[in-house]
Structure 1
Amino acid sequence: MLAERYDCILFDLDGVLYRGEEAAPAAPPTLAELRARSVRLVFLTNNSARTPEQVADKLRAMGIAADPNEVVTSALATAELLARRGGGRVFVIGEDGVREALAGAGLEILQGEPETADLVVVGFDGGATYAKLKTAGLLVQRGAKLVATNSDGSYPAADGLWPGAGALLSVITTTTGAEPEVIGKPFAPLFEAGLRRGGGGRPLVVGDRLETDIEGAARLGWDTMLVLTGVSGRADVEATGVRPTVIAEDVSALLEDP
């Protein structure tokens, strides 16, 4: 079985295990079988707005067994990284998923319009205002380090594309010229946080986007599986030159012999 060649399997979510509010047909039975065989599973998401508990709840509602401790969001990876560096006073553009992760890791969340900060952290924030963006830009100009949970410019909603964390981030970088540190995929910190959660040294990353899931993991020298239930297809592999270790119709290929 392909999955048994690895210490843990790191799954992207949307386009891999579900599409919108519906589970991918192969996902519930495949993950149930992987658990029965004691394969370690980790769920990775660039979504910074949701808490691990909310992500696990969504998976369980679709019939996919999941524990919050198996979920690593870009917000959680950001908080863990900043805490390891000593934490600090942080101004946040972001929703509960970001704020709870940072506070839980011991960082001091600044309120209002502070004059100074050690860090400005930007995630998705549906309530972002001009005043918040202005304050973030001024803090960066005064020396705060700019960190983004992820740089996704948009995300799909029922009525079209909505501005993502990257769109808010671009307001600050355009204003200040600052170069942000980005934690989420395709950058290494989120992948590395997932591996720490799963354990071992030989992971397999399963994703549906070549430019984030597959290319990001490949930069770390990790094996990858592109599933064709989401964004990228075989034609994209040829067009981009990004080569997954395995291309599969869906996640059930994890149960097959390599």
Structure 2
Amino acid sequence: MSSTLLDDHDVVLFDLDGTVYRGGELVAGALEAVRSVHERAVPVRYVTNNASKPARAVADHLTGLGLAAAPEEVSTSAQAGASVLAAELPAGAAVLVVGSASLADEVAAVGLAPVRRAADEPVAVVQGHSTGTGWADLAEACLAIRAGARWVACNEDRTLPTERGLLPGNGAMVAALRAATDREPLVAGKPERPLLDAAVASAGARSPLMVGDRLDTDIAGAVTAGMPSLMVLTGVHQAVDLLAAPEGLRPDHLAADLSALHRPAAETRIAAAAGWAARVEGGALELSGDGDALSALRALCARRWAAGSGPLPVRAADERAGAVLVELGLS
């Protein structure tokens, strides 16, 4: 029996929004795929850039959706942001919190003092996603940052996938503060290393696999941390984004959903594919052959990325290739 993608790894780091669930709904195939990982006794870590909920609430949400999850299996960007500050600041230092009550709790848990006003003379600002964040919160943070406070953003996701569609994420609020302060935050969540490093360390793992739906956070984070990655097409980024991905945002594996964890690694690796030919011809990336659409996409990506930078339109050399390009949204 051929080895599976899972066989090569001793922990799987799952992104949540857009990968395992969308709002209150599990992504198709996620339940069976994650359960099978547990049955194989491979540790999992649910690694989320969403800093609005404590680890226990995230675990309870997953359990409510049918996935057995424990708080210690959840790594949040709120935890990572608080840990980054704890490593730099003396115990009891005041930190202005822009975000949820659970983010303030994480700050307190590492021995720092969460505050909400610039008048409290905070030495740092930590900013995480919260649907309650408003102008008044940003104003307090703006004053503190302009006065010299250290600024840590839990993450910079511009959007948040939900069952209703894409909504503003923490990155949208970070952009507002960046514009108002002319400062740059230190980012604790994906694509930076603190969150992923903490998740791997908590599992005592040496060969992790990152699984996610976003090139700019999940996949870029894996590249930054030096770990292989699997991109699934169940969330934000799709075929057109993948094909145009610059170096540093390119996954090693590509699949429709999480069931790929239990298939041979060779089937999902981004490389030339049997049945398909992708070549640069006449200033375009040309596809010909026959087979399934995802195999064609893997072949196209492998050839496109090898071709270097610059515009390279995609075209079909035959009828079957034309139908696949339409299916992938690349026509």
TM > 0.5 between the two? yes
Aligned with 1:24 (options 22, 27, 41): 27
CA contact (8 A) 2:118 2:144 kept: no
Structure 1 contact 52–73 (Cα < 8 Å) conserved: yes
TM-score (norm 1): 0.92
Contact 1:6 1:203 in 2 (8 A): yes
Give the structure 2 partner of residue 94 of structure 1: 99
Task: Give the structure 2 partner of residue 222 of structure 1.
Answer: 227
Q: Are the equivalent residues in 2 in contact too, given 1:115–1:139 (CA < 8 A)?
A: no
Q: Which residue of 2 aligns with 1:117?
A: 122
Deviation at 1:253, TM superposition (A): 1.4
2:243 paired residue among 238, 242, 247 = 238
Alignment of 1:142 with 2:150, yes or no, is: no
Select the residue among 48, 53, 58 that pairs with 1:55.
58
Residue 41 of structure 1: how far off its partner (Å): 0.4
- Cα pair 1:51 1:96 within 8 Å, conserved: no
Structure 1 pair 118–13 and aligned structure 2 pair: CA distance change class (3 A): same
Range with bigger deviation, 1-10 or 231-240 = 231-240
CA shift at 1:81, angstroms? 2.0
CA distance in structure 2 between the partners assigned to 1:116 and 1:146 by the alignment: 14
Greater relative contact order structure (CA < 8 Å, 6+ sep): 1
TM-fit CA distance, 1:222: 0.8
**Structure 2: how far apart are the matches of 1:33 and 1:137?**
47
| Cα displacement string for residues 97-120 of structure 1 (whole angstroms, at most 9, x for unaligned residues) | 211111111111124442521101
Offset of 1:158 from its aligned partner? 5.6
> CA, structure 1 residues 231+158, in 2 after alignment: closer, same or farther (shift >3 Å)?
closer
CA contact (8 A) 1:4 1:39 kept: no
**Pick from 50, 70, 73: which aligns with 2:73?**
70
Which of residues 4, 12, 36 is equivalent to 2:7? 4
Q: Distance in 2 between matches of 1:161 and 1:257?
A: 33
Question: Whole-Å Cα distance in 2 between the matches of residues 168 and 230 of structure 1?
Answer: 21
Unaligned runs of 5+ in 2: 266-331
* Conserved? CA contact 1:146–1:180, under 8 Å: yes
Range with bigger deviation, 90-99 or 191-200: 191-200
**Offset, 1:161:** 4.6
Q: Deviation of residue 239 (structure 1)?
A: 1.8
The TM-score normalised by the length of structure 2 is: 0.73
Q: Tell me how far apart the structure 2 counterparts of residues 16 and 85 of structure 1 sit (CA, whole Å).
A: 33
Q: CA RMSD in A?
A: 1.9
Please state how far the C-alpha of 1:52 moved relative to its aligned partner: 0.7
> Which structure 1 residue ranges, 5 or more long, are not aligned?
none
